[in-house]
Amino acid sequence: MLPDATPEEIGWFNELQQIAIPGENATRVQEAAGDFNLLDLLPRVVAPTLVLHSRDDVAIPFEQGRLIANRIPHARLITLEGRSHVLLPRDPAWAIFVSEVRRFLREDAGATARG
């Protein structure tokens, strides 16, 4: 998830995971994740969709992000440079990530106001 993290960042991420989900549940979720495939449902997504994925993501291959974006009608794929699955503010792709999410939210808010 964080291949270039400092020891402090790894500690922070580990603590975050422990707060988010108990260890035994995390193991069950991880094991179950390989047991289902939602790709056939993606064409049914009607909500505006932004997919952001790091080109050299060490946790999930970039092609998986591309596949998801291609299966969701009108989804927009933003390719981020880097290896991290979880971006940190010091990552070069962070500014692009934040900018694209803000742009996406503005566009969606504008469409909602017009609709």
Q: What is the pLDDT of residues 11-31, one digit of tens each?
A: 888 888 888 887 778 788 777
Distance of CA 14 to the CA centre of its chain: 18
Token pair for residue 27?
Answer: 């193991």
| Spatial distance between the Cα atoms of 66 and 51, rounded to a whole number of angstroms | 8
Side-chain half-sphere of 67: how many Cα atoms within 13 Å?
Answer: 10
Burial of 97 (0-12, 13-18, 19+ CB in 10 A): middle
Which are the contacts of 80, defined by CB distance < 8 A and separation ≥ 6? 52, 53, 54, 55, 87, 93, 96, 97
Helix (H, G, I), strand (E, B) or coil at 112: helix
Q: What is the pLDDT of residues 45-88, one digit of tens each?
A: 999 999 999 999 999 999 999 999 999 999 999 999 999 999 98
**Closest C-alpha among 77, 79, 80, 75 to residue 49:** 75
